[in-house]
Structure 1
Amino acid sequence: MPWNMKDYPASMKNFEPLLRKKMIDMANAMLANGYDDDQAIPIAISQAKEWFENATTKEKEEFEKEANPQKNDQHEQSGNPDLLDEDVEVFFKEDKWQVKTKKAERADQTFDTKAEAIKRAKEIAENKDTDVISYTKDGKKQS
């Protein structure tokens, strides 16, 4: 069920309003793309926190000016909820460490170090309740 700034999951109640607004917006977009509530909520919380930490003051100000999320907002259909059950892979390609969900078309993110990539992969996998599969630089699977 979609949410708004007055009716949202209890797990979002202790966050400041701008961060909560981002969480609701992200969660509603995921719901529109076929995610279940119990999948969308933790992912939206995690991703909104990351956005909030990394967004510039200008980005935050611009988002604050946008209309608050509504239950009947239209969201572009994208993504693939079928990927929620897939493990997250960390591998070296094109001089970068890549983090990608198995069967996804492209990497979620790239990093200069494997440690950074594994940290991000663990966050994604934890949100989806899946595993991380790591490879060496030459493509061998690690345990």
Structure 2
Amino acid sequence: MTVERRVAHAGFTLTRDYPAPIERVWLAFADESQRRAWFGDGDTFDRREWRFDFRVGGRDVDEAQFHGGPRSRYEGVYTDIVEHSRIVTTYDMWLDGIHMSTSVASFEFDRIAAGTRLTHVEHGVFFDQFRADAAAREEGMRGLLEALGQHLGPG
């Protein structure tokens, strides 16, 4: 089978309001145990590798084998962190060892009367046979933001 060597570009913005103070939402990203609770743990996969280094230039790795499914690998680098304000990362994804995408993503934290507004903006380049996966990436991020909301609780 010959793989067509092409790329697709895609971007999306997701905004979510959480009934929690900005400091609590920030900690869910900045504290390793909290980050792992909503981003990296679960019973649908077996963890293979986890690294967390929350600082500018720091690198995160999350690799897992889904039960009955593919092996996914995330490698991210923090390019900008302003406490309680924003986090910017670049990250790469692999599926069963094949490089599927490179993205730049930002998370912006804003105080609102009801708690915290989180805005996530992402721009990705999807490679070869993964060119149609942009919609799945957005759906996956929606799921992660939902998991974050569950982690933060009702307020």
Asked if TM exceeds 0.5, the reply is: no
TM (normalized to structure 2)?
A: 0.27
TM (normalized to structure 1)?
A: 0.29
Larger proportion of helix: 1
Larger proportion of strand: 2
